[in-house]
Amino acid sequence: MYKARSACAALLAATSSVAFAQDDTAAQRADARLARLQRERPEPRRFKFNLLAEEAPKPPFALVLTLPVTYNTNIDTSDTDHRQDLHTDPSAELDYDQRTGTVRLFARVIADADNYFEHEDADASMLVGKVGVKMFDEKLGNFIPYAHYSGALLFGRNFQDHQVTLHTFTVGVNGQIPVGKLVLVPDFQLSRRFASDSGAERSQVGAGLELDGDFIPDRLSWSIGETVQFRHYTGGTNQGRHDVNFQTAAGLSYALTSTVTIELDFNFERNSSNRAGKDYSVFDFGPAIGIKVPFGPTKKLLK
């Protein structure tokens, strides 16, 4: 009887470890998609120094549809076996963004479905909700503090097989610094992530620097940026794990119309960890088409 109980306990422990590993891998693979979908962009006010100046009226809502077709060199974020494949990651996003005086409120709901051409077992999908606030103050110049919460439900293929739920709280500051005809975009943030599986929970400090410019004003633009994140995992089988994650992003964007853009993106991610099997590198590159349709009643900035 005791041996039977021991065997059952061992089986449960092994099953639990596998579940932790699977959910952690799902969160790990979703990080790059989350970074792209939730990228904290500075305010579109290039070379504008008076943060409290009157803004042109604009609709508070926007529907954003994106269809990238890219090639990934390590779809499992593995340190050994690098499976490669072409994939599409279409997403639909509903945005709310409204400024009143020195405060801007924003909210987003995003759904995406990452589908691979050959390795269907790697397909994944995600539902994300985000709400936050940005503060404007003349004393800060072109720097804007922000805070936001995001919740993410990670699934397998076609929103089936729920894997893990993530809750992330973030505070940070970003801005725009004109450098001649270019724009330097710094960003610094602190975040804490909670999860339905403790193996995916972590605290994080991140810093980023991006350089933006135009080949053709309001038509053809380019950007290149680097982000580094120090990730400290705090639960489950990842207790005591420390990662240093580097992400390099470069791209070209061509505006076909005021609502349709074509992009060519190149992304590289390198993760270094004190945990065996968690060192990996990933290249993901290819074109994308995006559509952004603003809507809703417009109103002027309230002073």
- Output helix, strand, coil percentages for the chain, rounded to the nearest 5: 15, 55, 25
pLDDT at 262: 95
Strands 182-195 and 202-216: antiparallel
Confidence at 180, pLDDT banded by 50, 70, 90: confident
The radius of gyration of the chain from alpha carbons, rounded to an integer in Å, stands at: 21
Tokens of 171: 């505070």
DSSP 183-197: EEEEEEEEEEEEESS
d(CA 167, CA 163) in angstroms, rounded, equals 14
- DSSP 8-state code for residue 26: H
Q: Is residue 154 part of a domain?
A: yes
Whether residue 266 is contained in a domain is answered as yes
Report yes or no on 220 lying in a domain. yes
Rounded average pLDDT over 87-109? 93
Amino acid making up residue 207: A
CA distance linking residue 28 with residue 238, whole number of Å:
12
Rounded-to-integer distance, Cα 243 and Cα 8, Å: 34
- With respect to residue 66, please indicate whether it lies within any of the assigned structural domains: yes
Distances (CA, A) of 77 to 4, 27, 280: 37, 11, 6
Residue 20 inside a domain? The answer is yes
| Look-up of token digits 């449960």 | 12
Q: Is residue 72 part of a domain?
A: yes
Top pLDDT among 158 and 42 is at 158
Is residue 124 within 8 Å of residue 143, measured between CB atoms? no
Q: 149 is in which domain, residue-wise?
A: 11-295
Instruction: State which of 18-22, 38-42, 160-164 shows the largest mean pLDDT.
Output: 160-164
| Inside any domain, residue 205 | yes
Pairing mode, if any, of strands 182-195 and 162-175? antiparallel
- Cα–Cα distance measured from residue 94 to residue 104, given in angstroms and rounded to the nearest whole number: 17
Summarize the confidence of residues 38-43 as an average pLDDT: 49
pTM: 0.84
Measured CA to CA, the distance from residue 149 to residue 136 in angstroms comes to 19
* pLDDT one-digit tens code per residue, 215-268: 998 899 999 999 999 999 999 889 999 999 999 999 999 999 989 999 999 999
Domain count, the chain: 1
Examine residue 303 and state whether it is found in any structural domain, yes or no.
no
pLDDT on residue 56: 65
Question: Which DSSP category does 58 fall into?
Answer: B
Res 119 pLDDT > 50: yes
Q: Could you tell me what percent of the chain has a pLDDT over 90?
A: 65
Three-state helix/strand/coil letters over 106-153? EEEEEEEEEEECCCHHHCEEEEEEEEEEEECCHHHCCEEEEEEEEEEE
d(CA 133, CA 147): 6
| CATH code of the domain containing 178 | 2.40.160.40
